[in-house]
Amino acid sequence: MSRGREVERRAGFTQRAIRWVDDRTGSVPAARKVLRYVFPDHWTFVLGEIALYSFVVLVATGIFLTLFFEPSTSRVTYDGSYGPLQGFTVSKAFASTMDLSFDVKGGLLMRQTHHWAALVFVAAIALHLMRIFFTGAFRKPRDVNYYVGLTMLMIVIVEGYAGYSLLDDLLSGMGLAIGNAVALSFPIFGADLSTLIWDGQFPGSDEFMSRLFIAHVLIFPVLIAGLLSVHLWMVARPHHTQFAGPGKTERNAVGSPLWPIYALRSIGLFFAVAAVLFALGGLIQINPIWQWGPYDPYRATNAAQPDWYLGWLIGALRLMPPLEIRAFGWTLVPNPFFGGALFPLLLFAFLYAWPALERRITGDRRLHNLLDRPRDNPMRTAIGAAVLTFTVIVFFAGSSDRVFLEAGIPYEGQIVALRIAVLVAPVIVFWIVKRTCEDLRRTNAHPLRDFPGRVVRRTPSGGYEPEP
């Protein structure tokens, strides 16, 4: 009896609370709809969520970092607790990052987690983009949302670069020198662009550091957060896509309801992502700037590597032959333009143009809520694989100095071989992938999931016959 009243009283509280909110917001009908929202299930659908939750960790750890970091190029003498650098003249940006790492409790954990989260963030977005591309999820009505996602990816890459460039260590200084050269290399307006950003000649004035800082902690994050909101709203509005299957049509969504199954799983995923990132941040060292040292334009180090998501750009800069277009005493197109600007711009132009291109090629202008398997559209899959091959080979060119140091394969030979491979391999991959997709589509085999062979049985008379 008393137990029943207890339950009633608790239910009464929940209802009273809902009533209180609803009287003031009128949000109950919408909330009921949201709780019953159905998420189709597939393991590739978590990639975007991992990106989202990495962003949450980035914002949280980033706020902590801004409480200690000083974005200033003023020169100070380092006198923190890291012995080998005591007495060195460094910038305040570098010194405050050192203090943050060595003299602030939990500071190094936050800094390293922030860095790891950035790497995972971009990786999750890149894989998410591949999922969207190869399953045709970018088709109408989601093409505009696909453009929103691509725009976020571009901003995120620049945001990450701005972030690790703030520290003013040797590695990031070299990265900024390259960024400056790429800005300078734009035909016609490159020099104006570079002097506007750097406030003069590289390494720039003190204001440059203020600009880099505010871009990293305010302008780009706000842009990302705004686009992210639009992105999620535009995902939810037409509901998620799903693969074809029993009971799944273009007009329904089959999967788990938001409450309680999906919500618990997704919040669980958030904590799992945070767990991995904080464990990485605490256990695996990343970007130890005390080993690189402070930056001056006349210093450099061998085997320097940027964060992974810039590997394709450094690779492109390295692969490009020494071509510079000059005429009438002017340099019309300086060399870094080809690898550092033209290549990424063309790649993104391809990605932006693809939905319209595909509509033109296939003549298919219908709405699509069911996803393609990669084999269902051999042309798209083959073109995507060829472009991906090109990009991945260029990416590996960015590691060729490490390959030389670790494996002793001569650097110049690697570059010559990769210059050939980057032109030949995409053609071969295109052909192989297209043939494979067509075969798979014809036979409807699933080599990764099903047993591909047939069982043969020996008969009592000694012959063999296939099992039905």
Partner 1 sequence: MRRIELAIAALLVSSAVASIAFVVVYVSGADTQALGGTLGAGLALLAAALILASRRLFPSAPAVEERHEFAKPPEDPGATMGPAAERSEGLAGEIESPALQITRRRLLAGAAGVAGTALGAALIVPAASLGPAIDGRLSRSPWSAGIRLVDEDDAPISPARIGERGFVTAFPEGANKRELAAPVIVVRIDPDALDLPAGREGWAPDGLLAYSKICTHAGCAVSIPRSPLYPPQAPRPALVCPCHFSTFDPARGAEVIFGPAGRALPQLPLAIDAEGNLVAAGGLSGDVGPSWRDVEGGT
The residues of the shown chain that bind partner 1, judged by CB under 8 A, are 22-23, 25-26, 28-29, 174, 177-178, 180-182, 184-185, 187-188, 190-192, 194-203, 211, 296-304, 314, 317-324, 326, 329-332, 334-336, 339-340, 401, 411-412, 415
By C-beta, is 4 or 87 nearer to partner 1?
Answer: 87
Amino acid type, 30: A
Is the Cβ of residue 13 or residue 411 nearer to partner 1 in the bound state? Answer: 411
CB of 331 to partner 1, least distance (A): 5
Q: Which three-class secondary structure state does DSSP give residue 301?
A: coil
SS3 state of residue 77: strand
Structure tokens at 152: 């976020």
Q: Which two tokens stand for residue 261?
A: 């199954």
Q: Which is nearer to partner 1, 96 or 400 (CB)?
A: 400
Please tell me what DSSP assigns to residue 44: G
Q: Residue 5 or residue 326: which is nearer to partner 1 going by CB?
A: 326
For 22, 24, 26, 39, the CA distances from 30, given in Å and listed in that order, are 11, 14, 8, 17
- Tell the smallest beta-carbon distance from residue 323 to partner 1 (Å): 7
Q: Pick the closer one to partner 1 by CB: 300 or 349.
A: 300
- Residue 455 has a CB neighbour count (10 Å cut-off) of 8
Nearer to partner 1, 25 or 285 (CB): 25
Radius of gyration of the chain (CA): 27
296: left (phi over 0), alpha (psi -120 to 50) or beta: beta
Specify burial of residue 77 (Cβ count, 10 A radius: 0-12, 13-18, 19+): exposed
If the CB atoms of residues 6 and 22 are measured against partner 1, the closer one turns out to be 22
Smallest distance, partner 1 to C-beta of residue 198, A: 7
CA atoms of 216 and 52, how far apart (whole Å): 18
Tokens encoding 364: 């298919």
Nearer to partner 1, 8 or 22 (CB): 22
Residue 94 C-beta: closest distance to partner 1, Å: 14
Q: Which is nearer to partner 1, 200 or 260 (CB)?
A: 200
For partner 1, which is the closer residue by CB, 64 or 213? 213
CB 242 → partner 1: shortest distance, Å? 22
* Shortest distance in whole angstroms from residue 24 CB to partner 1: 8
| Residue among 149 and 334 whose Cβ is closer to partner 1 | 334
**Any residues with CB less than 8 A from the CB of 294 and at least 6 apart, and which?**
85, 88, 89, 90, 91, 94, 168, 169, 170
Residue 348 CA to residue 155 CA, distance in Å, equals 12
**Residue 356: Cβ-neighbour burial (10 angstroms; 0-12, 13-18, 19+):** exposed
Nearest CB to partner 1, comparing residues 62 and 175: 175
Smallest distance, partner 1 to C-beta of residue 137, A? 21
Whether 398 contacts 340, CB under 8 Å:
no
Task: Say if residues 151 and 220 touch (Cβ distance below 8 Å).
Answer: no
Q: How far is the C-alpha of 280 from the C-alpha of 119, rounded, in Å?
A: 11
Shortest Cβ 282–partner 1 spacing (Å): 31
Question: Distance between CA 169 and CA 175 in Å, rounded?
Answer: 10
- CA 396 – CA 319 distance, rounded (Å): 10
* CA angle 214–218–220, rounded 5-degree value: 100
Least CB distance to partner 1 at residue 33 (A): 9
3-state secondary structure 183-249: HHCCCCCHHHHHHHHHCCCCCCCHHHHHHHHHHHHHHHHHHHHHHHHHHHHHHHCCCCCEECECCEC
| Minimum separation from the CB atom of position 102 to partner 1 (A) | 26
Minimum CB distance to partner 1, residue 136 (Å) = 21
Q: Nearest approach, Cβ of 419 to partner 1 (angstroms)?
A: 11
